[in-house]
Amino acid sequence: MIVLPLNRPMVAIEKNDMCGKKFCLRCLVCMLVVSCGAVARAQQTSEEAILAFTGAADFSELDQEEFERLSDYLVRPLRINYASQHALLESGLLDSFQAASLADYRSRHGDILSFAELAAVDGFGEHFVTQLRPFVRLDGLLPEENRRKTSIEIKTRTALKPTYQGELRWSAGLNVNLKHRIVQTHLAFSKALTERTPSLSSISGGMAFTLPRSSLRFFIGDFNARFGQGLVLWTGMGMGGISSTASLRKNTTGLSASSSFTGMYSLSGVASDCVLGPFKLSLGLALPGIRTLRTSPEDFALMPVADLSLNLHCGQLSLTSYYHWNKDAKTSFSQRWCTGGVDIFSEIAFDWMNKSPAALAGVAGNPAGWLRLAGMVRYYSSDFSPDRSAAVRSLTKCTNEHSVSLAADFSFGKSLTLRGSEGFGSSQKRHTGSFSVDFGYFPVSKSAEDKMSRQLKMQLLWHALINDAFSLRIRMSERLRTWGLPSRTQIRLDGMFQSLPWVAIMRMETVLCRSYGLLGYLEGGYRNSLLSVYARMGLFMVDNWDDRIYVYERDAPGQFNAPAMYGRGVWAAMTMAWKFARWAAVYIRAGTTAYPFMTGEKKKPGTAELKLQLNMRF
């Protein structure tokens, strides 16, 4: 690594900062500093990257579309030196303040040359940039890409799954994204079929385009609408639990194009937004129930949507409202400020149909270099409708909850450079982790026997680096409540060895709730820039559904696969990803689950599946 004064703050240049131009002095310097065969990335898997960025403790807390979106950015990172402020906001990777701060920095200093320089931009910081890095690139467009006006991406999916009854279930999907400088179109089609049931199909698609030399954009078909902190209008799920400071707030994206396979969380209709100085106006007319118009015409309705936001250098103010014809109507005011490194955010909402309020407010900051703290209070009336809401919550669906949450991220100990990595983010503290506490009270009791329903959740995540290749992760969580099952205790231990290109992982987990559950697996893998192969085998013993254990299974990009392990059995899986051309990659997954340890009436049939996905980009 070399440090150069370039009429800006002292910055560090790394290999993956190279722009790709044939005669670029900056790239020549990079090539002298970093060997051509190494990739300057920290040893972090894609699964870890998504969990760290979202603040989720487990993939069961994420929805499929959110996982699919972040997986796409891992495969094709966002070029933040080239992306417009619209694109920065739509990505959901940055909030409005960070996007405005980055745009202002680029206008004054030019391109960001290294992640160390990005960490020095207002609103970013080393901790956030470390989490952001897997999803972004610092280079600009290559010469041939700059000349290319149109790109097309095609994804095909096929899955085969035989059943114990002798049926062969299969599903197939096609996802096509065509992007032009001013037009983006998306069409997805999926079909599921068994030998005995009729065909089930879903279609999603939409178009987004920007008028030349203007900030006026239009959306037709499926689109996403995500405003404020999600208390009124947010397409997608909210966080199911709180495990770190990152899980307490949400990044507003406004209106954005949908590119999901299913489009199950997006809105369908027409919409538009435009930027007028510091103001941004978003208007839309959604058509809920249009997907089921043939089978359930009574669900069809009109839903006008409106949002007016004021974007300032240090924050954002936003007024959001929608009216679901004769069914639901809400209005909210949200704000977010970042001053002196402290992030303050809140949203106040009112449900006009039920005449019921809801509110949340939070703050996050770094009192010390090794510590980040965050806190939030939430007030959701029992009459407040949770429809269209996806605010951060760990107890309810934005209704019938009064709660307070505290979270802390910490790091201490000697810094260690991970084996096979270099550049920004390759050096980590020996001990990192997070701790969270969430207490909630339910105005309307959860059971007839319990007059004051309360719940307390606590969670500790600890990551310890034993050396530059071996690490241990400990996750302990406790849930105490005054109704139903009074407590649930969960302890998980992960051991990971990484010496690229080889990876080995061991996991052991136990749950104590209704009775107890046990799970463990071993996994080995090989990965490089063109090929990755992983094999996993595990055992589980979970006799009660309340003790189920969720396990994330490796799959193709965008394929959300986190089954709940229940029963007494064994499972094995193999996944492979092969980039056989610059423009194409194929993904294969084969897995099977058997229950040889169950007897009598509880005996369960085994399952098997084979998946194939092909991604092409021209």
Mean pLDDT of the 532-540 span:
95
Q: Residue 377 domain-assigned? A: no
Q: Write the burial class of residue 14 (CB in 10 Å: 0-12 exposed, 13-18 middle, 19+ buried).
A: buried
Work out the percent of the chain whose per-residue pLDDT is above 70.
82
Higher pLDDT among residues 88 and 20, named by residue: 88
Predicted pLDDT of residue 593: 93
Predicted pLDDT of residue 189: 65
Predicted pLDDT of residue 64: 67
Lowest mean pLDDT among 28-42, 195-209, 543-557: 28-42
- Alpha-carbon span 115 to 17, nearest angstrom: 8
Is 60 exceeded by the pLDDT of residue 598?
Answer: yes
Structural domain count of the chain: 1
- Alpha-carbon span 381 to 398, nearest angstrom: 8
Mean pLDDT, the chain, rounded, equals 81
Provide the pLDDT confidence category of residue 17 given band limits of 50, 70 and 90. very low
Q: Residue 557 domain-assigned? A: yes
Q: Residue 513 domain-assigned? A: yes
Is 50 exceeded by the pLDDT of residue 575?
Answer: yes
DSSP secondary-structure letter at 529?
S
Q: Residue 191 domain-assigned? A: no
How many other CB atoms sit within 10 Å of the CB of residue 83? 21
Predicted pLDDT of residue 5: 35
Is 80 exceeded by the pLDDT of residue 106?
Answer: yes
Per the confidence metrics, is the pTM higher than 0.85?
no
Most confident of 1-5, 207-211, 530-534: 530-534
Supply the range of the domain harboring residue 577.
Answer: 502-618
Q: Residue 558 domain-assigned? A: yes
Is 80 exceeded by the pLDDT of residue 84?
Answer: no
Predicted confidence (pLDDT) per residue in 451-474, tens digit: 789 999 999 999 999 988 899 999
Is 60 exceeded by the pLDDT of residue 197?
Answer: no
Work out the percent of the chain whose per-residue pLDDT is above 90.
33
Lowest mean pLDDT among 185-199, 226-240, 423-437, 536-550: 185-199
- Residue 603 C-alpha from the chain's centroid: 37
Predicted pLDDT of residue 163: 65
Q: Residue 583 domain-assigned? A: yes
Predicted pLDDT of residue 29: 36
Provide the pLDDT confidence category of residue 31 given band limits of 50, 70 and 90. very low
Lowest mean pLDDT among 27-41, 288-302, 370-384, 541-555: 27-41
Lowest mean pLDDT among 156-170, 321-335, 514-528, 542-556: 156-170
Q: Write the burial class of residue 564 (CB in 10 Å: 0-12 exposed, 13-18 middle, 19+ buried).
A: exposed
- Alpha-carbon span 583 to 336, nearest angstrom: 41
Q: Residue 455 domain-assigned? A: no
Lowest mean pLDDT among 1-10, 240-249, 450-459, 593-602: 1-10
In this structure, are strands 136-137 and 78-79 parallel, antiparallel, or unpaired? parallel
Predicted pLDDT of residue 190: 64
Higher pLDDT among residues 522 and 211, named by residue: 522
- Alpha-carbon span 553 to 10, nearest angstrom: 42
Is 50 exceeded by the pLDDT of residue 63?
Answer: yes
Predicted pLDDT of residue 236: 76
Q: Residue 591 domain-assigned? A: yes
Lowest mean pLDDT among 181-195, 243-257, 311-325, 350-364: 181-195
Residue 231 φ/ψ region, left for φ over 0, alpha for ψ in the -120 to 50 degree band, beta for the rest: alpha
